[in-house]
Chains A and B, each alone.
Chain A
Amino acid sequence: MAEGIRIENLIKTYGSGDTAVHALRGVNMSVAKGEVVGLIGPSGSGKSTLLKCLGAVIEPTSGRMTIGDRVIYDDGWKVGDLRALRRDLIGFIFQAPYLIPFLDVTDNVALLPMLAGKSNAQARKEARKLLEALDVAHRAAAMPSQLSGGEQQRVAIARALVNRPPVILADEPTAPLDSVRALAVVDLLNTMARQFETAIIIVTHDEKIIPTFRRLYNIRDGVTVEEAPAGSPGPDDAGKS
């Protein structure tokens, strides 16, 4: 499979001198396009810090980051416009859907292609396609407050996918859900990863979904250890869900 995102020896230190916090001490990670991996670790281990570095909202201290064959970071940013980078290369899914309350479902999704400079009509067309793929097209004209929690989460996933980013970062996307819904969301993300050839990293400490990951990174004290969860399907089962 083609490479989605690769991180080599990523280091992030908050502050300096005596008060320095070594949040990431040398993280290595690689996720292929179409693959979903889990990122777990105890509280304070550096999960959020890693996600923020990957999401280009905080600057790492050193290391190397590539998306596809594009070098994003190599001991310093290699792209001038981080906003455009986030808009075009990275999709975000949060703990809560965080939809824009004053935009209807279609425009919540269409906003991203619009920000990327597409016409309203084109952007809405792309949004509707995603809403159909996520089975919420029938709520296209509704306002976010009129949707159920599950519908909101689907719209949020559609928004993360609409610009066809090579990478999606999901921050505890199943935290507020019961296990049936949580597993459904992970299932959906797996389907979407394959359908849109996206590398998806899911940060979680949700015990219900951990067994579903074929690949899992466990981060402790700022260092990642790759592990295969017990009872998880082997690589041969790729494609089933």
Chain B
Amino acid sequence: MISLAGRDILHGWGKFVLTGVGLGLLIGVTLSMAGVYRGMIDDAQALLDNSGADLWVVQKDTLGPYAEPSSLNEDTERPIRAMAGVDRAAGVTYLTMQIAHQGKDVRVMVVGAEFAQPGEPGQPPHLIAGRRIVQAHYEAVADVKTGFAIGDQVKVRRNTFRIVGLTSRMVSSGGDPMLFLSLKDAQEAQFEKDSDAIVRQRARTASSPVLNPPGNPAVLEAVNAAQAGSTNVNAVLVTVAAGSDPDAVAAAIRRWQRVTVYTRAQMEEILVDKMIANSARQIGMFLVILAIVSAAIVAFIIYTMTIGKIREIAVLKLIGTRNRTIAGMILQQALGLGLIGFAVGKIAASFWAPFFPKYVLLLPADSVRGFLAVMAICALASLLAIHAALKVDPAEAIGG
């Protein structure tokens, strides 16, 4: 037996392939949407992995430092470091800002980390070029996605930094590349007021009889010094000693300090389930709509193709073709359309993924799922046409 579906497709292949390509672009968009979602999750996991932390200590009752603002005094780290089961503890600051670079604005997440010794949590775990920050001030390490090069000078607020090293895959949960500064420099950028504000605050302090008692200028100086600078961090990252249970250490820190502590699993839940959840639902809606549109297109095309063959189908039935053979012919055509569509979609998605501004992660498992979904949708969409074909009366081939 020959393949009736195959012969029909070959006979009108131009229309069939064009339809398949159109469907394929739609499938490509669908696969990319799934890739955007996977990319968001992967960014979040990279953020957590690359921070090198086992525990996140944040301001009490906040979901900080990524999902909510959190502010702690950097001195919080000292008693934590002394606790049993804690290996290292280091303060970090996170601040998303725009930086002018070669005439363009680059959106980065400025990370302040402790660089006094290598291996402190919060530092970039690997460099792809250059060296780590060794001086206390005015050096920076940038993610390659910033577009910065070693030796570049970038201005963060009032100070200029020299890029001494490059790292990769260091992005915020929003996909912005990171720019690492020493903790002190980052604190200055984050918490320091601009000159205007300082002038105004100094004037207010000077005019207050309490802060500037007449005849005692030393008090005013002391107050100004205390107001300048900041010793706050957004979180303290903790690594636990080998053999210690992170949950137990977290419980101990919670008991002794007025802070909130998250484990890696809890942090992942905050990032993935809380921060990304809405975007995921958004993308889910798109996937549902795209699936329905694809199904409608396949159903419409296959139905039109079948209706155009009603006479041939009546003849086929009259000369003894079984319903199964005719249904199989229509089903195979729908699946053939799906096959072309999926191939085109997969190629299109792989082709345009790198041009997306955010990370698009095309997982092979998602492709397999997408393929099965396309085949299921095509099979479902062919039911309407199969129904119409099976209703055809072989007597129609004989004139009335």
Contact = CB atoms under 8 A, between A and B. Distances in A.
A58 interface: yes
B321 A51 contact: no
A171 B8 contact: no
B209 interface: no
B32 to A, nearest CB: 35
Interface residues of B, number: 26
A114 interface: yes
A84 B395 CA distance: 16
Contact of A94 (B11, B399, B400): B399
Interface string A72-114: 0000000000011011100010110010111100010001101
A188 interface: no
A115 interface: yes
Contacts of B317: 83
Nearest to B316: A100
A118 to B, nearest CB: 9
A87 B312 CA distance: 16
B320 A86 contact: yes
Q: How large is the interface on A (under 10, 10 to 19, 20 to 34, 35 or more residues)?
A: 20 to 34
A232 interface: no
A102 B12 contact: yes
Contacts of A84: 320
Interface in A99-146: 100-103, 107, 111-112, 114-116, 120, 143
Contacts of A87: 319-320
Nearest to B9: A102
Contacts of B312: 98, 100-101
B324 to A, nearest CB: 11
Contacts of A100: 312, 315-316
A222 to B, nearest CB: 16
Interface string B368-400: 000000000000000000000000011101111
B388 to A, nearest CB: 18
Interface of A: 48, 51-52, 55, 57-58, 83-84, 86-88, 92, 94-95, 98, 100-103, 107, 111-112, 114-116, 120, 143, 159, 171-172
Interface of B: 1-2, 4, 7-8, 10-12, 311-312, 315-322, 325, 393-395, 397-400
- State the 3 A-B residue pairs at the shortest beta-carbon distance, nearest first: A87-B320, A102-B11, A57-B395
